[in-house]
A and B are shown apart, each in its own frame.
Chain A
Amino acid sequence: MIATLKILLSLAVVALAQTAVLAYMVIDRVQLLKTGREITLPIIPVDPRDLFRGEYVRLGYDISRIPMTLLDGPLAKPHETLYVVLEKKDGGAWQPVRATRALPSDGNPDRIVLKGRAVGSGSGVRYGIESYFVPQGLGPKLEAMARDRKLAALVAVDKGGKAAIKGLIIDGQLQYEEPLF
């Protein structure tokens, strides 16, 4: 009886711990989407015709390549964590102005920090907002809208620089917003 109780308890702890991990993943994300600062980043379509045809698409941004001169110190190693400081220019576009290896503290409201990882040893940076799983049934619709039009991603950014896709903007209109749950 004791042995059965013990194993029951152990299984409950395992199930609880794994549930907690999954719940943390969701809550952390929802928190970021809800409270993060919103910025709009133009998407560079790799192939506009095929952009939303697949189940998930890869998105490219202006800031996916940054001039290497922005980074102080030696060249970035592949997969090294980098913080890219973006500055809001006239017209609302965000442009990279600096890249650092530690989280910079910058109170300037026209600036925002994005956390990313270096791609290769070149000037590429991934911010974790490059994959988009297209909701079913939405692909053809989005694709029709995206043809020859300007696409952008609405991105939420938290204080640590973590970024998440919040929605898609086509021709300045928010066309699809991610439900939180």
Chain B
Amino acid sequence: MSRYRTRVERDLAQWQSAGWVSEAGVTAIRADLAARRSAVGAAGIFAILGAVLFGFAVISFVAANWNAMGKLARLLLLLAALWGCYGGAAYLFARRLDVFAHAAVLGGIAVFGAGIALIAQMYHMDAHPPDGVLVWVLGALLAAVLVRSNAALGAAFVLLAVWTYWERGLGSGPHWAFLALWAVAACVATWLRWRPGLHLAALSLVLWVVPLGFLVLDRHAHWLVAAIGAATALAAVGLRVPAIERRIQASQAMFAYGVAVAFAGVFTMQFIDGVTHYGAYASESTMRLAWLSALTLVLLVAAMYWALATDNRGALWIGYTAFTVEIFSLYWRMLGTLLNTSLFFLVAALIVSALAWAAYRLHQRQAPAREAAV
């Protein structure tokens, strides 16, 4: 049962006992919910899992460097597997077993990738391995567009992340080409109206943006990452006007991702890049850390306040997590240097108490409004 249905069931019981909803109303609502059952049940999940496992089987078959067959036999076997997957998908679509059909498409994409790797291996190709992943991404995107396959689009986003990660490892500057292909994939996700796909788009973009500070300007430009995140979060706040349901949903997600990116930026500035500073610079970096951490905590509290006010659970959890991570990292860095342990906990306790008070006040302010509405 979906989370939404569980919640409605619970509320229904309460509303019915309060006499707000009639017996007939409850039955009608339950029937409506049952009719709206999600297409992706256990069968779909297992089918997709099966396809992924099938893909791994094919890929490790290739990795095992199977040489008992001649080259031509291997190529033919590979093409047979490819056409078998897409043929199977066609058969399953015709039988209206769409979930299994999409799993078969996913299998076909896996075989396509294995084929690229296998041919590179057979002919000792060693030019620039990420190019192979790029071709794989294009193949997955093509399947996503033509077959309108969410599973294929999901694979494309995962492969996009692999591609840019590999290119980043080999290159020296930012991997700009990623943005072009990412934009195409994000358009496909919008066109397919597949919400998890949009989240995958956001996640892959986050994975690209966060390390950007190490790659541009003086290679310590993490403030830029923080600024991009903050600007995203602010833009998300602006998106709520006018307050249409779709805009609000987009704003909620954008705000959460923006907060995550902004925090990643300031966190890298404080604790990851250039941690080992000695001598005269060390005291300067301590002052810098004090300012930055104060700013981070204030901004996180503001973000959590906004998340509470807008009922944005995702952003709230990111805020909580970031707050905890920040506090523990500070504790670890400051131990025995700037603050002693008790003072540190005192400060942390004050901040958290202030947060609790703010949340309480917000609740107080909302409660009368709700009563007035009733």
Interface residues of A (CB under 8 A from B): 4, 7-8, 10-15, 17-19, 21-22, 25-26, 29, 33, 55-56, 77-79, 117, 126, 128-133, 135-137, 162, 164-165, 178-181
Contacts and interface: CB of A to CB of B under 8 A. Distances in A.
Contact of B83 (A8, A15, A126, A132): A15
A126 B105 CA distance: 36
Contacts of B65: 55-56, 133, 136
Rank and list the top 8 A-B pairs by shortest CB-CB distance, nearest first. A136-B67, A128-B127, A131-B126, A10-B146, A15-B86, A181-B72, A29-B123, A18-B112
Contacts of A136: 65-68
Chain B contact residues: helix, strand, loop or mixed: helix
B147 A117 contact: no
Given A21-B139, A130-B126, A11 B78 contact: no
Interface in B116-149: 116, 119-128, 135, 139, 142-143, 146-147
B147 A133 contact: no
Given A18-B108, A136-B65, A26 B119 contact: yes
Contact of B121 (A4, A77, A133): A133
B125 A29 contact: yes
A57 B160 CA distance: 28
A165 B68 CA distance: 21
Contacts of A135: 67
Interface string B31-65: 00000000000000000000000000000000001
A17 B125 CA distance: 21
Contacts of B67: 135-137
B159 to A, nearest CB: 14
B78 A22 contact: yes
Contacts, number: 118
B171 A181 contact: no
Contacts of B112: 18, 21-22
A180 B127 CA distance: 19
Contacts of B125: 25, 29, 128, 131, 164
B17 interface: no
Contact of B86 (A14, A79, A165, A179): A14
Contacts of A19: 79, 82-83
Contacts of A165: 124
Interface stretch (B89-97, B189-197, B226-234, B350-358): B89-97
Interface in B148-200: 170-172
A17 B142 contact: yes
Contact of B93 (A4, A55, A130): A4
Contact of B128 (A12, A21, A117, A129): A117
